[in-house]
Structure 1
């Protein structure tokens, strides 16, 4: 496995090598195990006893404090020879801290290769954030068109027009012009109106549209239609709720 340390030094744990530019340094097995341990626990304080156990004792070796110090020194010298800053900090009487950014080199390489394969004349692929912004704008545009269509349909549908009934609180009530006074009175005393008229006292300007669905003389469904739409500051309808009862 290859890793990039501090965006500069490539570490190949299989070959036990550190590389930068044309310079490659091969590490001993124990020094490579030490570096693996430091990378695994990067930015964490590691006690000397823990390091000695993981790097030497678990592999059947009898180490000493001198072995650890020597391997630390080898790693520092290797980073120095590769032109990199020393990433290993000594914590007196405690242990060591490996403060470095480490990323997978294979992922980086594949991404770089993909970028090289894209012709310069091609447009860049939009980021995920840009896609979400475009989707949001599209939804907003559809909602605006739908609200405009609702208003046009509500107040002008062929030969039928719609008339203002009255204002109740924050609501403006409209109905089809072929609904007579008795139908309007029946609607204003219906259970459905009592169910929804609380919106007229919510502080939001609202349009309420009522129709008895009298589509033709032969229509036998006799369903009532109710549309309740909030008005924005520009007077456009939005957040519509439709009921058939």
Structure 2
């Protein structure tokens, strides 16, 4: 089966992850705005939220999903359709054993699945972090306040995060400042993981971890 790939911005990834974390339940608009934007020091409007939802739906359609994945509940919010089957599969990746552990994740899909007919797959990497591959995407886990810390490398806006280095013409940025003595090790890991996942530098993309 042909596999497609797509890239999400940090905000779009947080939105999709939040919806999938609450799948089969209606999520209020205000709650989405608070958790996806306000909690990260960002501001947006209900109109902008609608645009992000429309963008996700367009990507799903491009991946061959003919059924409505993100359902609109009028005057309330959104939810992921209960008819969508989400599965987890093991997906190991190389890990750096320090407080700045990172993981590179390719966003890919083998197709869309309705319960009983087609299948979505979702992956998670042990110790270094986990990410759900639901519908078409390996989802994002960001820096956690718990003992375990997670990272994802993906395309995002150039004004986000701290500058770490560059790969080809694409900057590498982090959500948190990396100590100078750790930066070289992080760049080595980033290059290895990007090569393993066959990710490439395109246009104005930024690798964010």
**Alignment TM class, shorter chain as reference:** 0.3 to 0.5
Structure number with the higher helix fraction is 1
What is the TM-score normalised by the length of structure 2?
0.40
- Which is strand-richer, 1 or 2? 1
Computing the radius of gyration from Cα coordinates, the structure with the larger value is: 1
Q: Which of structures 1 and 2 has the larger relative contact order (alpha carbons within 8 angstroms, sep 6+)? A: 2
